[in-house]
Structure 1
Amino acid sequence: MSRLIIVSNRVAPISEGGPAAGGLAVGVYDALKETGGMWFGWSGDVLSSGQPQIAVEERGPVTFATIGLLRRDYDQYYRGFSNATLWPAFHYRADLVQYDRHDFEGYRRVNAWLAQQLVPLLRDDDVIWVHDYHLIPFAQALRAAGVHNRIGFFLHIPFPASQVLLAVPPHRELVEALCSFDLLGFQTKPDLRAFCDYIVNEAGGSVERLDDGLTRIDAFGQTLRAGDYPIGVYPDEIAELAKAGERGKPVRTLKATLHGRKVIMSVDRLDYSKGLVERFRAFERLLDQAPSQRNRVSFVQIAPPTRADLHAYQDIRLRLEAESGRINGRFAELDWTPIWYIHRQYERAVLAALFRASHVGYVTPLRDGMNLVAKEYVSAQDPDDPGVLVLSCFAGAAQELTGALIVNPFDTDGMADALAVALAMPVAERQARHRDMLAQLRQNNVSVWRDRFMRDLSRVGKREAGASAAAGVVPMPLAD
């Protein structure tokens, strides 16, 4: 049986019951620990000098192969092109794109170097599944190194419309690199449409919808397949975590402090794409327009730090602290704090229990690939007395969770209205909405996501020797 090789920028230090990890890490690890295989990528270590060496660790059925990055590579590949250029562009924030051609060269160089580190670990029948925007050139680098294994790619974040992607100067090189994969996976149909639109209108390629539901793409001398694969969660596992934590200290403390008030709960990484400032202002508008809600509801925003060495993230933290202070200063009473803004990380089980104890899940990103927090919130609810999900139309999860109250995060009044509706919704309606969403989550859990992608990748023939050279793929320079 073929091994599954997962490649991602970061190999997350996941431990059972440990701190909550991001959607990519949770989805990948849940998929890999069922099948066994290898997870390869950056260890998270940044080295000032020397030659990084691969560390291999066996944990049950999973082999973790990790390697550190030199400071220059971290600055150019990770801080630079990945997160100062690609992340804002792919989240439709062209105004925040910072491009430096040396960073792009570093991005290509590190992808080629990482590919070279993986090559000696590969077997002929391995199936390679590469994840996310940090590694767009990875298959191209493997092909240049003579690897002909099946290679799939899954993008966890949105794929932008062509006119937005054009804001990234090397956009053509990026899309050409994507065409070295055998199968491309996107979170939603709109993301897939955006990619196909670029292929046809900017790259001069062709697309064809096939009977098996996939899309055939011919571009840059390559033929590949693409499809949409919405990532899921294990809802029953999350429900068990939530029930187990109901009597834990965090939930007991929350309930004791709130004295019977209702809770609006949000959990997000501290990121400008999450719509946190807009969310705070919509809650303020609710208190403005519905004075009866004052001293009857509190909004808890948990926002763990992320990429703290980037200026854009420092700015969003300062803005949130200012907004929460301003709103609390305006509305707070001696026995009531409207907004609890918590800038720290909690374990996954604690978050699930807090979701279960809250009356409204408030998930309103300005743009998001999927947003597993929305799915985890629904999963954690008590079916007899579930909370209500208020969800941005720009989250990929909105394509599936139609039982949520879908809002536009740029519409402050609309979000405030949705919060009011959610807080007043009768139990029968809450139960019906929750039942429909939970059925959808069970039908498309993370195993289904993995199995659909791997099934489609297995249908793709291995690349013939010499195909990469015929398509004009040339080796990239390695890291110094």
Structure 2
Amino acid sequence: MESELRRLVVVSNRLPAALKKEGGEWTVKAGAGGLVTALAPVLRNRGGVWIGWSGASDPDLDVDGLLADFSAEAGYDLYTVGLTPEEVDGYYYGFSNEIIWPLFHDLQTRCRFHPQFWRMYLDVNFKFAEVVARKTTSDDYVWIHDYHLMHQAFFLKSMGVKRKTGFFLHIPFPPPDIFMKLPWRWKLIQALTEFDLVGFQTLQDRRNFAECLRRLMPEARVSGRGGVVSVDMGSRKFRLGAFPISIDFNQFNDLAEQPDVAREAFKIKEALRHRKIILGVDRLDYTKGIPERIRSIQTLLRRYPDLKGRVNFVQIAVPSREEVGDYKELRTEIEQLVGRVNGEFSFPGWVPVHYHYRSLPHRELVAYYAAADVGLVTPLRDGMNLVAKEYCACSTDGDGVLILSEFAGAAAQLQKDAYLVNPYDMEGVAKALHRVLHWDKGQRLEHMTRLRDQVRKNNIYWWVDSFLQAGIARSLGDFPEVDALRYERG
């Protein structure tokens, strides 16, 4: 590939395709989640590369062969990093999900600071860096994603491999009083300073990082104003920026307007007898505040009995990390709470809470968004939360209301027109619900129109552009689409 067509190389824990065993056969499934949704359209047919783990840990499996068709169809190259079951256990389930995930979400009581998790994390990061070194050139821009791979630039440099690197953290970055509890805090901060650009979801996350940096490396000097600032370490400089991730607004909006999806949305309304629909959509995770949300619905029905029989709360919980004990307990707790609320309030012809523990096909999810009168997005802590933005994009008639946790990253952008709540304050959430259910149409339209404009303007392409501009003074347009024939020749 010519040097002026510098490739965009994305590196993340998981590839945008997952290998699953079904009926003894390995199949390739398109990955889910915010990162895949965000970056797949960006790399498509632009000669890009995605490096990650396939989700399988069978050494005899021909992973590259299985992924070849997906790669050709996706319009970019996939390269896999092979991991053993022990590595997955220590690096992914251990360090990433039992230390960094709870710590960065202000839930440090859930952390298990085992030293072997840290050692495995470093081993796997080195493994990833070796693949990055082999599969990229000095002309590529290597964009590393998320908390699983914070040591990539450190290891590339330790190998003497020169690459332009950017790192984006999709989850929150904690304030110093929380971050300082990490036994390997200095090494982690030091590794992050080796990137050319470190990006966060919000200005608050960026400020938290800068504060931790000052505490641990007093020689660091932060200068500049606005979204992107410079850090002078004495021997080298790097940049810090806030880049709130988003969605492909048009894709969601257009899908919601398709006749079959609109019909599906009408069917959902009809099945619930045209009662007001309050909708929650989350991956099953303890950071999402699902039990607190269900208790808020219970509080709503207790405090405002006039709403009995007039509203339905629909909670869609997408299965996640099902083999982890904490998640099994959470699932049980949610199911018991749903049973309790329905047991307390149901009467013939009306059950207040509808709980779906499954992944919904994309079109069906959009139909639920379009049918809902209120989007109830109340994580206890979240880097961004794309559900809030997806709900706005699908509210094509402008008649929806977004109730949003003040601890979601999305609150920084959407606070003027979303109704902000504290998810721990169940009476406050109940009060907010009661209030917005009584808003007149004009009020709902006014707020939702502005929310939709905000998400439309600051969409996924804007996010990518703003990161690339800060990282290499390029935009997405500088990675033009290549025709299929040229792409196949590589």
Whether these two folds match at TM > 0.5 is yes
> In structure 1, what is the Cα distance between the partners aligned to 2:112 and 2:233?
28
> In structure 2, what is the Cα distance between the partners aligned to 1:434 and 1:212?
28
Secondary structure in 2 aligned to 1:334?
coil
In the alignment, which residue of structure 1 is the partner of 2:463? 449
**Pair 1:23 & 2:34 matched:** yes
**Pair 1:292 & 2:306 matched:** yes
1:187 aligns with one of 201, 205, 208? 201
**Pair 1:389 & 2:393 matched:** no
Q: What is the CA deviation profile of residues 71-100 of structure 1, one whole-angstrom value per residue up to 9, with x for unaligned ones? A: 000000101000011000010000000111
Return 135-144 or 49-58, whichever deviates more. Answer: 49-58
Secondary structure in 2 aligned to 1:272?
coil
> In structure 1, what is the Cα distance between the partners aligned to 2:72 and 2:241?
33
Distance 1:69-1:238 versus aligned 2 partners, 3 A rule:
same
**Pair 1:259 & 2:263 matched:** no
In the alignment, which residue of structure 2 is the partner of 1:398? 411
Q: Is the 8 A contact 2:91 2:117 kept in 1?
A: yes
Secondary structure in 1 aligned to 2:410?
helix
1:377 aligns with one of 388, 391, 410? 391
Return 211-220 or 144-153, whichever deviates more. Answer: 211-220
Distance 1:190-1:175 versus aligned 2 partners, 3 A rule:
same
**Pair 1:40 & 2:44 matched:** no
Q: What is the CA deviation profile of residues 389-444 of structure 1, one whole-angstrom value per residue up to 9, with x for unaligned ones? A: 00000011111112110001111111001111121111111111011111111221
Q: Output the amino acid matched with 1:396.
A: G
More RCO (CA 8 Å, sep 6+): 1
In the alignment, which residue of structure 2 is the partner of 1:198? 212
In the alignment, which residue of structure 1 is the partner of 2:126? 112
Percentage of pairs with the same residue: 37
Q: What is the CA deviation profile of residues 94-141 of structure 1, one whole-angstrom value per residue up to 9, with x for unaligned ones? A: 000011111110000001011112222112200000000000011111
Q: Is the 8 A contact 1:216 1:223 kept in 2?
A: yes
Secondary structure in 2 aligned to 1:396?
coil
Distance 1:252-1:381 versus aligned 2 partners, 3 A rule:
closer
Q: Is the 8 A contact 2:243 2:466 kept in 1?
A: yes
**Pair 1:12 & 2:12 matched:** no
Distance 1:220-1:66 versus aligned 2 partners, 3 A rule:
farther
Q: Counterparts of 1:1-400 in structure 2 under 5 Å?
A: 1-13=5-17, 21-33=32-44, 35-47=46-58, 49=59, 57-210=71-224, 213-219=227-233, 221-244=235-258, 247=261, 250-383=264-397, 385-400=398-413
Distance 1:231-1:247 versus aligned 2 partners, 3 A rule:
closer
Q: Is the 8 A contact 1:275 1:366 kept in 2?
A: yes
In the alignment, which residue of structure 1 is the partner of 2:26? none
Q: Is the 8 A contact 2:54 2:63 kept in 1?
A: no
Secondary structure in 1 aligned to 2:339?
helix
> In structure 1, what is the Cα distance between the partners aligned to 2:62 and 2:260?
44
TM-score norm. by structure 2 comes to 0.89
> In structure 2, what is the Cα distance between the partners aligned to 1:398 and 1:348?
25
Q: Is the 8 A contact 1:94 1:164 kept in 2?
A: yes
Q: Is the 8 A contact 2:223 2:231 kept in 1?
A: no
In the TM superposition, residue 243 of structure 1 has moved relative to its aligned partner by: 1.9
> In structure 2, what is the Cα distance between the partners aligned to 1:219 and 1:302?
46
Q: What is the CA deviation profile of residues 129-177 of structure 1, one whole-angstrom value per residue up to 9, with x for unaligned ones? A: 0000000011111112222111000000000111111222111111111
In the TM superposition, residue 369 of structure 1 has moved relative to its aligned partner by: 0.4
Q: Is the 8 A contact 1:261 1:298 kept in 2?
A: yes
> In structure 2, what is the Cα distance between the partners aligned to 1:110 and 1:224?
25
Q: Is the 8 A contact 1:30 1:446 kept in 2?
A: no
In the comparison of the two structures, how many residue pairs are matched?
A: 456
Q: Is the 8 A contact 2:220 2:234 kept in 1?
A: no
Distance 1:205-1:308 versus aligned 2 partners, 3 A rule:
farther
